[in-house]
C-alpha cells in the first residue's frame, strides 16, 4: 500500500478491532516494529490500534487499551499535552512534546511523545501515529534517548541499529535533518539534491538564511525548477523547516526539513479560494460565500438577543437597457457602482454580495422591522443618486428590494442561509409584481423555512399581445390658477385574470423586456385618437410613450397617417417621454420630440427631477410641459431651501416657454403650496382618482 502526503484512505469500520480495517495488518505490524509503546489515536482520544508495549503499560495501570479512550485514561493536564500534539500532526506537522504525561491514577505513561503521520482508519476519521517514550530529562544520548536521536537521524550516515530507524522508514515524506552548524548553502544543496530540482541554489540559500532560529517555516519551490505555463510545470515542492528540541543542556539540536512533492502552488490555491467565494467583477461576496456568512450570522442570532437579522434581496430595474444601449462595458461599470453603493450603505456591520447577473443581496443586524425597512429605503435612495455617463447618454438605475426579517432565533431556528435568502427573494418578487422601485418586507416565522422550495416563482413574461387584456382609465389634470380641468392623462390598466396581483407597471415592464411595448403603445394611441375624434370637448389628452416606440418607425408612421387625415387632432394630443429614457437615449428622443412637434402635438418630459443633462438640452427642443417626479413637491413642502430651488426651477422653465405639472397631489395643503410656487397644473387623488374611460369602450 503506497502512502502519500501522510494520508491513506481506507473503508469505514464499525469497531477498533484490527481485523475490521482494510490494511490493518500493515499498521499493526508497523506498530509492533516500533521500539516504543505506540498507538493510532484520533483527535477525540479514541484508540484505534496499539502495539503490545502500549497495551502492557495501560494494563499495569488498570486500563484495557483496546477498549479505552485516551482522554478518559489520562489526567487533565496529560490529555491537554497529548491533544495539542495530535492537532499539530493532523495539520501535517510532526510534533515532539516533552513533559511527563500521567494516567488518572497517577502512574506515568511517558516523558515524551512523538506524533508523526496520520491515516484514515475508521469512518474516514484521521488517526495519528503516536509513540510514547519513557525516559527522563537530562539523559545522555544512550538507551532511550539514543534511540530517539537515531530515529530522527536515520539515513544520514548514522551507525544506529536498523530497527531504530523504523519511524522514518515508514514516514510518508522525505526528511532531512541538519545540525545547528550547517550553513544555508549546505542546506540548500542537500534539499535540491534530495528532490532532484533545477531550482536556483543561491536563491534557496537566501530564503533559508532568512529563516529565524527556533521558528517553524514553510517554503515552496517549483517541482521542475521553474514556474511555467502548463499545469504540470506549476506543481510545487513544500519544504517545512522544523526546529528540533535539544537534549540535556542543548537548546537546539538542529533543523528537520520535511519535503512534500507535487503540491499545489499556495498562491494559486489562495487565489482559487478567493475566486470561489468572490464575485470577480464587483469584488463582493458571491452567492456561496453569502449563504455561508448567513449561516454564521444565524449562529450569532442564537446567542445575541439584542437585535434581529435583516436579509435583503435586490433586483435591479431596467438594467438590460444599460447593457443594450451603452454596451456591456457600461453594464459592468453600472454593476460596480451599484456594488460600491450597496457596500457603503450596509457599512462595516453588514455584508453585501452579488448573487446573479443584476441581482444583489445584503444582510445586516437590525433591532426591528422598521429599522430593516429604513435600510432598504436608504439602499434605493443611494441607487437613485448613481449617474453613469457614456458618450451623450446618462444612465440611472433603480431596484426592487425584498427583505426577510428574523426578529430572533426562535423565528428562524428552522432556516438556513439559503432559506432566508429565498424568503427575501419572494418578497422582492412581490415588489416587482407591483412595478418595481419598492420595498417589500417579510417577517420570518418558524413555519416559513421548511416550505421554501428550490425554485422561486417568476413574473409572467409578456407573450402574444391580447387586446382584451387591456383597458384605459383617465385621470384629470387641473389648472391650479383657474381650478378647473384642463386635460386628462390616459392610463393603461389590466383586466381579467391578469389584474389579480400584477400591476400595470410590472406588466408593461414585461412587455418592454419581450419587445412588445411598441404594440401596446400603438393600441393605446389608436384608442386615444378614436376617442378624441368622437369627443366634442377640447381638453388635452396625454399618454406615455416608451423609448422603444419613439425609436420604432412603424409607430411614427402610424401617428403621421392618423394626423394627416385629421390634423386638428394633433392639438389635443400630448405625448410624454420619461426623463430616464431621455437621459439614456437623448438623440433618439430628441428626434421623436421634434417629429411629433412638427405634426402639431404637444410634448412633455415625465418624472422630471431637474437633472442638468435634461435642462441643458431643453433650450433646443420644443417641449411644452415638465411633469415633476413624484415626491419632488412633497420634499419641498418640508424644506424651505428645496422650496426656493423648486420655485426658481419653475420660473426658469416658464422663461423657456415650459409649463409645469405636479403629480401625486393628495391633500389641500399640497395644492395650495403648489399654487404658491406658480406651478400651472397638477393631478392626483385630491383632484380625482383614475376612472374607466367611457370613450374607450
Phi-psi region of 113 (alpha: psi -120 to 50; beta: other; left: phi over 0): beta
Q: What is the pLDDT of residue 660?
A: 94
What is the DSSP annotation of 373-412? HHHHHHHHHHHHT--EEETTEEE--EEEEEEEEE-SHHHH
Residue 241's φ and ψ, nearest 5 degrees, are -100, 115
Q: What is the pLDDT of residue 170?
A: 47
Is the separation of the CB atoms in 555 and 516 below 8 Å? no
Dig out the grid coordinates for 166 from the structure: 523504523
CA atoms of 312 and 352, how far apart (whole Å):
9
Please return the burial class of 436, using the count of CB atoms within 10 Å of its CB with bins 0-12, 13-18 and 19+. buried
DSSP 4: B
Q: Quick one: which of 160, 417, 196 has its CA closest to 300?
A: 417
Helix (H) or strand (E) run with residue 505 in it: helix 504-514
CA atoms of 480 and 665, how far apart (whole Å):
12
Judged by DSSP in three states, 486 sits in strand
Q: What is the pLDDT of residue 14?
A: 34
Q: What is the pLDDT of residue 456?
A: 46
Q: What is the pLDDT of residue 187?
A: 87
Q: Quick one: which of 184, 183, 174 has its CA closest to 239?
A: 174
Within 10 angstroms of residue 275's Cβ, the number of other Cβ atoms is 11
Compute CA 465 distance to the chain's CA centroid, rounded to the nearest angstrom: 38
DSSP 461: P
Strands (E) located in 72-216:
95-102, 108-122, 125-133, 174-178
* Angle between helix 553-565 and 517-534 (nearest 10): 10
What Cα–Cα distance (Å) separates residue 383 from each residue in 68, 440, 509?
63, 17, 19
The pTM for the full model equals 0.54
Instruction: Write out residues in the chain with pLDDT < 70, as ranges.
Output: 1-24, 65-67, 91-93, 117-118, 120-125, 135-173, 211-214, 224-234, 245-253, 266-276, 434-436, 449-469, 496-507, 510-511, 513-515, 694-697
With a CB cutoff of 8 Å and minimum separation 6, the contacts of 558 are 522, 525, 526
Q: What is the pLDDT of residue 234?
A: 64
Where do the domains of the chain lie, and which CATH numbers do they carry? Answer: 1-143 (3.30.450.20), 173-273 (3.30.450), 277-451 (3.30.70.270), 468-696 (3.20.20.450)
Please tell me the number of Cα atoms within 13 Å of 69 on its side-chain side. Answer: 9
Amino acid at each position: 500500500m503506497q502512502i502519500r502526503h501522510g494520508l491513506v484512505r481506507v473503508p469505514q469500520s464499525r469497531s477498533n478491532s484490527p481485523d475490521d480495517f482494510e490494511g490493518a495488518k500493515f499498521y499493526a505490524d508497523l506498530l509492533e516494529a516500533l521500539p516504543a509503546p505506540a498507538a493510532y489515536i484520533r483527535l477525540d482520544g479514541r484508540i484505534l490500534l496499539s502495539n503490545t508495549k502500549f497495551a502492557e503499560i495501560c494494563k499495569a495501570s488498570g486500563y484495557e487499551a483496546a477498549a479505552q479512550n485516551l482522554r478518559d485514561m489520562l489526567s487533565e493536564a496529560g490529555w491537554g499535552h497529548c491533544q495539542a500534539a495530535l492537532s499539530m500532526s493532523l495539520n501535517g506537522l510532526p510534533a515532539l512534546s516533552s513533559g511527563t504525561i500521567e494516567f488518572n491514577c497517577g502512574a506515568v505513561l511517558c516523558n515524551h511523545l512523538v506524533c508523526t503521520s496520520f491515516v484514515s482508519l475508521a469512518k474516514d476519521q484521521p488517526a495519528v501515529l503516536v509513540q510514547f517514550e519513557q525516559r527522563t530529562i537530562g539523559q545522555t544520548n544512550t538507551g532511550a534517548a539514543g534511540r530517539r536521536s537515531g530515529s530522527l537521524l536515520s539515513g544520514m550516515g548514522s551507525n544506529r541499529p536498523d530497527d531504530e530507524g523504523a519511524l522514518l522508514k515508514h514516514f510518508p515524506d522525505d526528511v532531512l535533518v541538519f545540525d545547528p552548524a550547517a550553513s544555508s548553502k549546505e542546506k540548500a544543496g542537500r534539499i535540491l539534491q534530495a528532490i532532484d530540482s533545477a531550482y536556483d541554489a543561491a536563491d534557496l540559500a537566501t530564503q533559508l538564511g532568512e529563516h529565524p532560529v527556533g521558528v517553524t517555516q514553510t517554503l515552496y519551490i517549483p517541482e521542475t525548477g521553474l514556474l511555467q505555463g502548463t499545469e504540470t510545470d506549476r506543481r510545487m515542492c513544500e519544504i517545512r523547516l522544523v526546529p528540533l528540541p535539544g537534549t540535556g543542556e542543548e537548546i537546539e539540536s538542529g533543523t528537520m526539513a520535511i519535503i512534500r512533492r507535487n503540491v499545489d502552488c499556495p498562491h494559486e490555491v489562495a487565489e482559487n479560494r478567493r475566486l470561489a467565494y468572490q464575485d470577480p467583477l464587483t469584488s463582493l461576496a458571491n452567492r456561496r460565500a453569502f449563504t455561508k456568512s448567513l449561516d454564521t450570522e444565524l449562529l450569532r442570532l442564537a446567542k445575541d438577543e439584542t437585535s434581529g437579522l435583516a436579509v435583503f434581496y435586490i433586483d435591479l430595474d431596467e438594467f438590460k437597457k444599460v447593457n443594450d444601449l451603452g454596451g456591456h462595458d457600461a453594464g459592468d461599470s453600472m454593476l460596480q457602482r451599484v456594488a460600491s453603493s450597496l457596500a457603503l450603505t450596509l457599512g462595516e456591520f453588514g455584508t453585501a454580495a452579488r448573487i446573479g447577473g443584476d441581482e444583489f443581496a445584503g444582510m445586516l443586524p437590525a433591532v426591528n422591522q422598521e429599522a430593516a425597512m429604513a435600510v432598504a429605503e436608504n439602499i434605493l435612495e443611494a441607487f437613485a443618486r448613481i449617474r453613469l455617463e457614456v458618450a451623450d447618454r446618462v444612465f440611472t438605475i433603480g431596484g426592487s428590494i425584498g427583505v426577510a426579517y428574523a426578529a430572533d432565533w426562535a423565528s428562524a431556528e428552522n432556516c438556513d442561509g439559503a432559506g432566508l435568502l429565498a424568503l427575501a427573494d419572494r418578497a422582492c418578487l412581490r415588489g416587482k409584481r407591483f412595478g418595481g422601485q419598492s420595498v417589500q418586507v417579510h417577517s420570518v416565522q418558524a413555519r416559513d423555512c421548511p416550505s421554501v422550495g428550490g425554485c422561486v416563482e417568476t413574473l409572467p413574461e409578456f407573450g402574444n399581445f391580447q387586446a382584451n387584456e387591456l383597458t384605459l382609465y383617465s385621470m384629470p389634470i387641473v389648472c391650479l390658477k383657474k381650478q378647473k380641468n384642463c386635460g386628462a392623462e390616459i392610463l393603461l390598466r389590466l383586466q381579467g385574470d391578469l389584474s389579480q396581483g400584477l400591476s400595470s407597471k410590472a406588466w408593461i415592464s414585461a412587455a418592454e423586456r419581450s419587445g412588445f411595448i411598441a404594440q401596446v403603445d400603438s393600441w393605446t394611441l389608436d384608442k386615444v385618437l378614436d376617442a378624441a375624434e368622437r369627443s366634442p370637448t377640447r381638453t388635452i389628452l396625454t399618454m406615455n410613450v416608451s423609448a422603444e416606440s419613439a425609436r420604432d418607425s412603424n409607430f411614427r408612421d402610424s401617428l403621421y397617417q392618423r394626423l394627416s387625415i385629421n390634423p386638428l387632432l394633433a392639438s389635443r394630443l400630448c405625448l410624454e417621454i420619461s426623463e430616464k429614457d431621455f437621459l439614456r437615449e437623448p438623440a433618439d428622443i430628441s428626434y421623436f420630440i421634434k417629429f411629433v412637434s412638427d405634426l402639431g402635438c404637444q410634448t412633455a418630459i415625465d418624472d422630471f427631477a431637474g437633472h442638468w443633462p435634461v435642462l441643458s438640452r431643453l433650450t433646443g427642443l420644443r417641449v411644452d410641459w415638465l411633469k415633476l417626479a413624484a415626491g419632488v413637491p412633497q420634499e419641498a413642502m418640508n424644506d424651505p431651501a428645496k422650496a426656493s430651488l423648486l420655485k426658481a426651477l419653475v420660473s426658469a422653465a416658464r422663461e423657456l416657454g415650459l409649463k409645469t405639472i405636479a403629480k401625486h397631489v393628495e391633500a389641500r395643503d399640497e395644492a395650495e403650496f403648489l399654487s404658491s410656487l406658480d406651478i400651472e397644473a397638477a393631478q392626483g387623488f385630491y383632484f380625482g382618482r383614475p376612472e374607466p374611460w367611457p370613450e374607450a369602450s
